[in-house]
Structures are given as C-alpha cells and as structure tokens.
Chain A
C-alpha cells in the first residue's frame, strides 16, 4: 500500500547540536506537510511544501521537498529544549481520496 516512512525513529541530541529527520514516500506526493507534537499534546501544523525542490525556512527550521516529490526533510539548526517533541511528515498522494498519509514520526529529545 501507499506508505510514508520516516527516519530516524528517535534522536537524542545535546542542546546546540543540529537535527535532521527524513521522510520517504513510496509514491509521488502532490504536497507534503510537517507537524510537531509536543509530549502529551496533539499534532500542530508547521508548514506545507508543494513545489518540486522547494525549500522553506522558519527561523532555525529548514524544510525541503525533493525534486522527485517523493521525499522531504526537516533540519533544525542549533536545537533548543523547546524543540523537544515528535515531528511527523504527512503527504498527499497524487492518487486516492485520503487527504494525508502520516509518516511514523521522529521523536527528538534535547539534553540541556
């Protein structure tokens, strides 16, 4: 079936280190979204990428959408303790009715 995979499942970094999570789809995506879920909270929308090769930045966060529109990445520069949480990518498949297929998520732990 159509799947969206994320790696790594878990990453533990020292505060100030960089962090990257990668998202790969088995099929071409018309767009990809990223969500953040704080511990005990619910997913909150961060950003959406639509164009092939698109790069967007939000302060220390950089989001990329691959040229083939089958993969994406989220990079955090100089992590802070407020970055702790699980980051999910979610893609809209070109085919099918369902709006979003969520990746398995990457849980980030930042040690002060």
Chain B
C-alpha cells in the first residue's frame, strides 16, 4: 500500500521567504510527527499530532515554525521568514497510534535557503 508521502521533494527558497511543506500520512494513522535532519546529523523532533489532542509543539525551534493537521490527515509545516540555518531535510512520519508503535517515515523534503 501507499506509504507516507511528502511534497515537494526539494525546495530552494530565498532567505526571508515563507515555505510550506506537506505530509500525507498513511491512511488511518492517527499519529503524525515532523522531524528536522541537518546534513550528517540526527533527528530533531519538531512537532507531534495525535488524533484530536492538542499537538506537542515542544520541539519547534522558534515562532517562525508552525504546523497544522487538517481533518486528522494531511499536515503542513510552515516556516516563515526562512533563514539559512533552516536548511535541512524535513521528515514526516506517521504511526497507527502514539506510544510503542513503529513510525513510518516519508522520503523527506530537502529545504535549501539561499
């Protein structure tokens, strides 16, 4: 079946512009996560959605970052006034529920801020 999809796969933007990154989780998965991975680094947790509960936003690095999940499915991560340090691969993952279940990762969006 279809896995987690993300779009775009690559995004180049100028410093100061806003960007939107999209994640389509696996159908029926109630939990959705956003991570950021800089080149050669580990996974930095950004935000976590679980069903209708309030999202865990504790990993968002600044108020320029926000995310929403509409209808419990598709999620959009928005970065306002992008900075060069925002350049990274943004990974989305979903799982059937919250704790104790493997996460299925999408291919990621590579963001380059020039």
Contact = CB atoms under 8 A, between A and B. Distances in A.
Interface string B81-99: 0000000000101010011
Interface residues of B, number: 27
Nearest to A42: B105
Given A42-B91, A42-B107, A97-B48, A102 B42 contact: yes
A88 B82 CA distance: 28
Interface string A35-71: 0000001111100101000000000000000000000
A67 B61 CA distance: 35
B36 to A, nearest CB: 11
Contact of A99 (B40, B42, B91, B103): B103
Contacts of A104: 41-42
A50 B102 CA distance: 12
Given A42-B105, A98-B56, A99-B33, A31 B100 contact: yes
Contacts, number: 61
A90 B33 CA distance: 14
A42 B103 CA distance: 11
A62 to B, nearest CB: 19
B42 A88 contact: yes
A97 B54 CA distance: 11
A27 interface: no
A102 B91 contact: no
A103 interface: yes
A92 B99 contact: yes
B31 interface: yes
A33 interface: yes
Nearest to B103: A100
Interface of A: 30-31, 33, 41-45, 48, 50, 88, 90, 92, 97-105, 107
18 contacts: A31-B100, A33-B102, A41-B107, A42-B108, A43-B103, A48-B100, A48-B102, A98-B48, A99-B31, A99-B98, A99-B100, A99-B101, A102-B35, A102-B45, A104-B41, A105-B41, A105-B42, A107-B40
